[in-house]
Amino acid sequence: MLHAIQGISRPAKTAGAAKKDLAVGDCGAAAAILLIVLAIQFWPKLIKQEGVQVIANNLPPIVGVLDFRGTLSQRASEEPHRVLAPSINELQIILPDGSQTGDYILEIIQADRVSNPVAKYSGKVFPQANGVLALKAKVDISMLKKGPYVLRWRPNTGLQPWEQGDFLIE
């Protein structure tokens, strides 16, 4: 059977052919939705800016605490190891006596290599209710291998020497 549509004649589609066209259209829409969902899920992990990890702010806080009170400033070699889980996304560092409030820079370096930092962050030091100072920063250490690391920090002015301490990712 032939139809005339705007002066063009073509055979009419059977019911089976029309269902096949509909199924192909449904698959394309499902594939597009799947790509959007995957992009939303994995985009924060793929974002990087000049080797510095950018943190997604929409995650619920999983806080890791490193306590460096009573440690020697600028030395990490004789301190006991502190442990962080790779799933944390917020770091709270209890600073040694003599630290100052304000904005800070943090760097994570592999302990077994003298190398460039594997991650860089910024944070802010706040006084706590118990009188100690705590440096708080959003972090993403999920991409780092398990093992020993050195965390170093200093005020954002860059004029003071780094303070540092050891920790493990386990």
In this prediction, residue 116 carries a pLDDT of 87
For residue 116, give every residue at least 6 positions away whose Cβ sits within 8 Å of its Cβ, in sequence order, or none.
109
Question: Rounded to an integer, what distance in angstroms lies between the CA atom of residue 138 and that of residue 161?
Answer: 22
Contact assessment for residue 151 and residue 108, using Cβ atoms and an 8 Å cutoff? yes
CB atoms within 10 A of CB 79: 15
CATH 3.90.1200: does it fit domain 52-169?
no
The pTM score is: 0.60
Give the mean model confidence (pLDDT) for residues 76-100.
82
Please check the confidence at residue 156 and state whether its pLDDT lies above 50. yes
